[in-house]
Each structure stands twice: as structure tokens, then as C-alpha cells.
Amino acid sequence: MIPVRTYAAYIAHGDGRARLRAQLRDRLRDGALRVLALTRSPTRTSGWIRFPYYHHVFDDERSGFARQLDWMRNVGEFLALDDAVALLQSGQPIPGRFFCLTFDDGFKNVLSNAAPILDRFGVKATVYVASAYVGLDPLRDRERLLGFYDHRQLLLEFLDWTDCRAWIAAGHAVGSHTHTHARLAALDEAGVSVELAGSKTAIEGETGRPCQHFCAPFGRPGIDYRSERDPDLARLAGYRSFASGRRGPMTAGGPVYDLSRDHLLANWGNHQLRYFLGD
């Protein structure tokens, strides 16, 4: 088994019928979104920060990713996560339309494929790594890598610490996505604290930079993490922000320990951006 490097290989799993059903579902959904997108516009309002996030930019997603950044550049401006959090925390009006990009999980293609494109557009992004996966080797650590997803076996390459330092040297940031990619809601308070502190210590020790931002794996409030507990524990552990996977814009004074973000796939068309990032 060779590591997955393309989106085509990433989705080519399961039996043929399941794949066909998924393709049909995607096509119907895409048709509906094309119609719905006509009623939405990203430039109707101002005074917000959107947090688009990705997991991967595979080899066959590079041109889509560049197109999406170009689309965002025409709608607003890019902000680094530190600056976006500081602006929200200041309570000041948000002076325009802003995009703050993050990546979850810490896949290798964030450095190899996304970073050169981010650089071309002058975008500073944050990757949230699950520190126990950083530096795992596709040959030596094959079984652990295949266990990353509950529901399917895929061999994906993760960043190593040298990659993380290169990412930081290019002006980007590394945040925490727990140590083991844990579903926080399933852990007791002590277990959550271990995940929060363990990943922070590992990331800071290896990068020499403060790790200030946290993102909950799986991201659904009340299902994957406990809204009334986990953001507080992250704050106590020294994090300056807590990101979820719930969609929507953030407006002036919005809660930095409850950041809404918009999940994107780099091959989605502009009508999908218009639908998900418009209002």
C-alpha cells in the first residue's frame, strides 16, 4: 500500500455500489447548491471574519485551492489567526471582510502543496496538528496511520517536526488538535487536560514557539466536545482560542473560545464557496 497523494485515491474506497451512491448524492447536492448559491452573496454584508478550513490539499487539488484563494482575495482580505483572535477579542468593529485559513490534522500535503500557494497569495495560515501523529512513518508506523480514521483504512502522510519548523519559518503557525486526535466528549476532565497539555508541551518543545490555538477534533459542539467544559479547560491550559467545526461568520466581539469555521474541500467550485461563505 502506498501513501494517498490524490483526492481521487482518497475517495476511492469502499465497494463499487457505495461509491456510486456517494457520487450520485454529491451530484444531487451540487445541483441543489448551484441553485441555492444564486440567492447568496459573500459581499452582501461586511464586518465579519470567516474561518475557512481544510484538511488536505492533495496533488490534484492544487489548482482548485489556488482558485479558491483567488476567489477569497476578490471578496475580502486575509488575516493570520493571531490577528483574527486579537481583533475579535478587542471588541472593535471588524473593518471589512476577512478570511482566516486553518488546516486540521497536520497532513504532509499542507506543507508540500498548500504552502507554496499560500505564499503566492501572501496568506499566513495555521495548521492544527495531533502531536502523536507528527513524524509517523508510512512504513514503520503503518498500523497506527491506518487507524487514524475510524471508518476506513487510508495511508496518509503527516508532517514531521522538521516540516513544522519549515512551516513556521514561512510565516505560518502550528496549533494543537490534541495529542491523539481524541474526541474530547468521550474523555473525563483529567483526560481532556492531558490531551490539551501534552500536545502543547510537545509542539512548543519541538518548534520553540508558543502554541496558542486549539481546535477540537471532529468539531461538533455537544457531540464531539463539551461546550460548557472543554473551551474553559483549553483556556486554563494556556490557549488563546478554541475552534469548532460549526459553520458561520464571526462578528465584532465574537467568542474566541468558540470560533465558528467553514469546512471546505479544495476542489469545490466557486458556487459552493458562494453558498457556504455567503449570506
Count the residues of the shown chain that bind Zn ion, applying the rule CB under 5 A: 3
Asked if 145 and 108 count as a contact pair (C-beta separation under 8 A), the reply is no
Nearer to Zn ion, 52 or 217 (CB): 217
Nearer to Zn ion, 104 or 195 (CB): 104
Chain positions 212 to 251 lying near Zn ion, rule: CB under 5 A, are 217
Shortest Å distance, C-beta 270 to Zn ion? 26
Nearer to Zn ion, 21 or 220 (CB): 220
Nearer to Zn ion, 76 or 217 (CB): 217
Q: Does 195 bind Zn ion (CB under 5 A)?
A: no
Shortest Å distance, C-beta 176 to Zn ion? 11
- Write each residue from 73 to 112 as x if it is in contact with Zn ion (CB under 5 A), else as -, in one continuous string: -------------------------------xx-------
Nearer to Zn ion, 68 or 176 (CB): 176
Chain positions 125 to 184 lying near Zn ion, rule: CB under 5 A, are none
Interface residues with Zn ion (CB under 5 A) are: 104-105, 217
